């Protein structure tokens, strides 16, 4: 397996995954979406809520606030040896906001105060509820480590997909320029002896094969590389894009090792 990073920022990445088949590529995609554990608010104790929202609505909104997560410092709640929650699998957060009598005040995710300074809202400007003058919201939230396959609030990868790397072959071109004009993404250009792929544009190919359809002499072919894939992913902020990729690969490695041990005992 080989990974070639094309673009990398704190919350998004684009890379080429090579020397694997479609099954492994899809396994990596699913791991980033569902198998990398994150922290999310799972229980909310509301002590005072005079806002326009019901308690359940407030709890739902808080549960969907991404929390910065340390993969190595917490254990998924279902895998922890405790029964009711402990510092190894849960974190307590509090929120206490009151609007002045003569003005409105919006409660944001950044108003959550965590007992663990390393755990905080990935974005501090997510609105939770707008309070009218004199209204108050006081609560305690319990965040637990969980998996995306149990609930979307624990899903670290919010957008993750891939496509096969395109392979374009041109042979016997008569310079008619029809394929160049047909390409919707300007991937092809006319060279001195034949049409050719423009440098650095191959990965933009959508595999629509319009160039193949207009070529009357079958000089061009477009196919998928069965062992090379272009990945695009976005993180919700609980992990950086780089951490999400690494944690997903490690998760697959751990599952494979566990399966190997089980098969070895048969």
Binding residue ranges for [3Fe-4S] cluster:
205, 208, 211
Neighbours of 182 (CB within 10 A): 16
Residues (pLDDT < 70) of the chain are none
Predicted confidence at residue 150, as pLDDT, reads 94
Q: Which fold has domain 2-34+158-232?
A: Gyrase A; domain 2 (3.30.1360)
Q: What is each CA distance from 115 to 86, 87, 182, in whole angstroms?
A: 13, 10, 59
Helices 22-30 and 241-265, axial angle in degrees (round to 10): 110
For residue 252, the SS3 value is: helix
Q: Which region holds residue 19: left if phi is over 0, alpha if psi is between -120 and 50, else beta?
A: left
Binding residue ranges:
205, 208, 211
Q: What whole-number distance in Å separates Cα of residue 165 and Cα of residue 180?
A: 20
- Per residue in 220-259, pLDDT (tens digit) is 999 999 999 999 999 999 999 999 999 999 999 999 999 9
Q: Please state the domain extents for the chain.
A: 2-34+158-232, 38-153
Predicted confidence at residue 78, as pLDDT, reads 85
Structure-token pair, residue 188: 């092809």
* Residue 101 CA from chain centroid, whole number: 41
**Residue 168: burial class (beta carbons within 10 Å; 0-12, 13-18, 19+):** buried
Predicted confidence at residue 87, as pLDDT, reads 86
Helix or strand run (H / E) with residue 165: strand 157-170
For residue 15, the SS3 value is: strand
CATH architecture of 38-153: Beta Complex (2.170)
């Amino acid at each position: 397996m080989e990974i070639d990073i094309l673009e990398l920022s704190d919350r998004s990445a684009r890379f080429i995954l090579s020397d694997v088949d479609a099954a492994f590529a899809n396994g990596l995609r699913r791991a980033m979406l569902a198998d990398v554990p994150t922290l999310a608010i799972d229980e909310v104790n509301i002590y005072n809520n005079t806002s326009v929202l019901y308690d359940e609505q407030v709890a739902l909104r808080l549960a969907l606030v991404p929390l910065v997560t340390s993969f190595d410092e917490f254990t998924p709640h279902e895998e922890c040896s405790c029964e009711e929650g402990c510092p190894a699998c849960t974190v307590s957060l509090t929120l206490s906001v009151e609007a002045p009598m003569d003005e409105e005040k919006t409660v944001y995710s950044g108003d959550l105060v965590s007992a663990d300074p390393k755990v905080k809202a990935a974005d501090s400007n997510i609105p939770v509820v707008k309070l009218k003058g004199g209204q108050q919201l006081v609560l305690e939230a319990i965040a637990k480590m969980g998996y995306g396959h149990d609930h979307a609030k624990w899903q670290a990868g919010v957008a993750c997909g891939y496509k096969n790397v395109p392979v374009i072959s041109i042979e016997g071109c008569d310079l008619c320029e029809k394929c160049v004009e047909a390409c919707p993404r300007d991937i092809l250009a006319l060279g001195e002896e034949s049409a050719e792929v423009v440098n650095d544009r191959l990965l933009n190919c959508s595999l629509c094969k319009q160039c193949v359809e207009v070529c009357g002499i079958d000089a061009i072919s477009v196919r998928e590389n069965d062992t090379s894939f272009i990945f695009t992913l976005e993180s919700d902020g609980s992990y950086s894009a780089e951490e999400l990729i690494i944690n997903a690969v490690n998760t697959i490695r751990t599952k494979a090792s566990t399966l190997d041990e089980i098969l070895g005992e048969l």
